[in-house]
Structure 1
Amino acid sequence: MIIPVVNNGRGLGGPIRKQLDMVQRPPETRALAQLLVQYRQPNNARGIFELMITAVPFFVIWALTLVVVVRGHWIGLLLAVPAAGLLVRLFMIQHDCGHGSFFRGRLANDWVGRAIGIVTLTPYDYWRRNHARHHASSGNLDHRGSGDIDTLTVGEFAARPRWRQILYRLYRHPIVMFGVGPTYLFILRHRLPIGMMRNGWQPWLSTMGTNVAIEVLVAGMIRLVGLGPFLLVHLPIMILAASIGVWLFYVQHQFENTSWSRDEAWSFHEAALYGSSHYHLPWVLRWFTANIGVHHVHHLCSRIPCYRLPDVLRDHPELANVGRITLVQSLRCVPKALWDEKERRLISFRDADIRLGRAP
């Protein structure tokens, strides 16, 4: 099997890139997905272990932060960084539960996922359904909007009135995308089943049930430690974890050589493998993010538990170079905001302005 090494150069235009695609991209992505089925079997003991080494340190660090800060040692707020990392890892475990891949039984996955959702402020059943739609349509230009980062093509952006172009630029600004947006998403938007208002009672039950559980937990914590200390400790952790989570989701699909296609040319397996990155992180960050950086494999076979994704790369090292981006390279993804259907790559607003004859 010939697997392409990611093109990190920016000078490869459409014709050259298409030639490379035809030469290097394997046609047997469906067969590859079938090959990965052998990694799908969860291990309950491993799942319990991974949950314990994540949840217990999170609550211990949270309590330690409270004790240190209450005593007036503000430097204790630095503990919000590892606590946020552990909260991200809890969310990734919840994410696996949503795919039914963390434990063997559905009940175990669902109830652990719901319990974690109270801590991550994410209504589990509502999120699971929305996330399934994301997997089913990822990379399809004709079915955008299901759990995706809003992405316009160059043509769509050019056709919008000026005020809507400004709104899209604002939406794509790093302060909004990774600052204001994540806080709004987890603290406010998840309180209502937005996007599924007409899908019956289940999304409402999930969100309202999670809201009630959050209220009970927060009220209990405030009564125990006080409103000020609770907010002082938990808000920085929650806000930081939300920003990290959105960043991970962003960089896993919003890189220059990702894959988007119209409905008639779209293929689930091609979009999964080439529309998702392999975010190659240092081992400490891989642990905190529960290997979610191996995202191309995850999209190709979403039932593989997070703790088995490294096994796939170990047994199939050729997959390590598909969509591979490093931590430093990922920072270059931030300006890429528009899909160029001719060049088949994400480009920046500046590149689009030049293309449209707007730049001086």
Structure 2
Amino acid sequence: MRTGKDLILATREFAQDNTAKSWTAIVSTALLMLAATCAILLFANWWFLQLPISLLLGLLMVRMFVIYHDHQHHAILPRSKLAKVIMRAWGIFAMTPSCIWQHSHNHHHNHNSKLRSTHIGSYPVMTTERYKNSSQQERKKYLMMRHPVTILLGYFTVFILGMCIVPMLENIKANKDSLLALIFHALLYAIVTVTLGWQMAFFALFLPFFIASALGSYLFYAQHNFPQVIFREKEGWSYEGAALDSSSYCKMGPFMNYMTGNIGYHHIHHLNAKIPFYRLPEAYAKMPELQTHRTTSLSPQEVLRCLSLKVWDVEQQKLLPLKEALAN
């Protein structure tokens, strides 16, 4: 069983972009999104038909976001100028400008599971000791950032606020795409509402954005906040360990694997972010070292377990619910 550098080098076999597959994924996903939007328009008088189509559109937006995410890692179409323009436009549309995403997400990959660096590009993690020594205000802020409602409302908390408003206020010159995203978003809602009505704005825009953002926010949370996760201080940290011990494999069926762009194979993605999303299952199947993973799922029971976890207990080496951690 390969470990360390040998394991990472072995994954290079799969870190090869297939231009035809990449463009097929982009075009087919865009066409499905367009078809779903047209269907919502077609069934304007039947909200009970618009609802499931709107849910489907939200899931397709998750898939397109994962494709965008892969492009930002240069895993797909790294030299295509057209892809760069399209993906930048998608980042603005999806309230995740590339200038913000690249900085925060690259930091996340380079510092994943480090206790003192988890607050950038990820959900913050406090040790039990640090939580006990924090002020009441610091505790409230910390728990609010990890609260299930904050994750559910990811459209507002993570994307509109975290990816657009805050960066814009910090440095509008460097983060002008954040302002552009906010302006575009407001105009899009205004145009659709005025020309097609509030119901169309709700089913074609708000609900898909809300669903995609909530699912995306939860997946990003659960990929690094699950019962078997391991966090380390700087001294015991390694890139391989952060990938295999601190990034989960989220078990999903074929439908959800398609809709989430295989993001459930997250431990492999963290081991080598240059592997295109459509090759992650192949790498998993061919490398036994990647099959001894730490698993989560989207079952209601597992979702509740992950959401209940609050602080890292150094002595037990576990992420624990708050009551359990403070009782020890």
Q: Conserved in 1, the CA contact under 8 Å of 2:154 and 2:210?
A: no
Given the alignment, which residue of 103, 106, 115 partners 1:141? 115
C-alpha displacement of 1:327: 2.9
Partner of 1:330: 302
Per mean C-alpha deviation after superposition, the further-off stretch among 106-115 and 147-156 is 106-115
2:33 matches 1:58: yes
Which of 29, 49, 60 aligns to 1:86? It is 60
The correspondence for 2:20, drawn from 45, 69, 73, is: 45
Provide Cα deviations, 1:31-59, integer angstroms capped at 9, x if missing partner: 11111012111111101111122111112
CA contact (8 A) 2:54 2:203 kept: no
What is the CA distance between 1:193 and its match in structure 2? Answer: 5.3
Tell me which residue corresponds to 1:36: 11
Task: Quote the offset at 1:272 in angstroms.
Answer: 1.9
Over 3 Å counting, the alpha-carbon distance change for 1:236 and 1:127 in structure 2 is same
Query: Could you tell me how far 1:156 is from its partner in structure 2?
Result: 0.8
Query: Under a length normalisation based on structure 2, what TM-score does the superposition of the two structures give?
Result: 0.90
Task: Please report how far the alpha carbon of residue 129 of structure 1 lies from its aligned counterpart in structure 2 after TM superposition.
Answer: 1.8
Larger mean CA deviation between 112-121 and 182-191 belongs to 182-191
> So what's the TM-score if we normalise by structure 1?
0.83
Native 8 Å contact 1:337 1:348 kept in 2: yes
2:280 equivalent to 1:306: no
Letter of the structure 1 residue corresponding to residue 112 of structure 2: S
Query: Aligned with 2:116: secondary structure?
Result: helix
Distance in structure 2 (CA, Å) of the matches to 1:196 and 1:279: 35
Using a 3 Å threshold, how does the CA distance of structure 1 residues 324 and 73 change in structure 2: closer, same or farther?
closer
Write the letter of the residue equivalent to 1:41: Q
Shift of residue 181, structure 1, vs aligned partner: 3.9
Partners of 2:155 and 2:181 in 1: CA distance:
18
The equivalent residue for 2:102 is 128
| Sequence identity percentage | 25
Task: Name which of structure 1's ranges 109-118 and 265-274 shifts more when overlaid on structure 2.
Answer: 109-118
Provide Cα deviations, 1:245-304, integer angstroms capped at 9, x if missing partner: 011101100012212111122212211221100111111111100001111110110011
Worse overlay, 127-136 or 315-324: 315-324
Tell me the CA shift for residue 64 of structure 1.
Answer: 1.1
Match of 1:114 among 88, 91, 96: 88
Find the counterpart in structure 1 of residue 153 from structure 2.
Answer: 180
Report what 1:164 is aligned to: 138
AA aligned to 1:191 is: C
Q: Which amino acid aligns with 1:51?
A: I
Q: Which consecutive segments of 4 or more residues in structure 1 shift more than 6 A?
A: none
Q: Distance between the aligned counterparts of 2:54 and 2:232, measured in 1? A: 40
Structure 1 counterpart of 2:159, which letter? Answer: F
Letter in 2 for 1:276: S
Instruction: Kindly indicate whether residue 50 of structure 2 is the aligned counterpart of residue 76 of structure 1.
Output: yes
Structure 2: segments with no counterpart, 5+ residues: none
Unaligned runs of 5+ in 1: 2-25, 356-360
What CA distance in whole angstroms lies between the structure 2 residues aligned with 1:305 and 1:232? 31
Give the AA of the match of 2:320. Answer: I
What is the letter of the counterpart of residue 51 of structure 2? L
**Is the contact between residue 167 and residue 178 of structure 2 (CA under 8 Å) also seen in structure 1?**
no
Shift of 1:170: 3.7
CA-based RMSD:
2.3
8 Å CA contact 1:100, 1:109 repeated in 2:
no
Q: Give the drift of 1:232.
A: 4.3
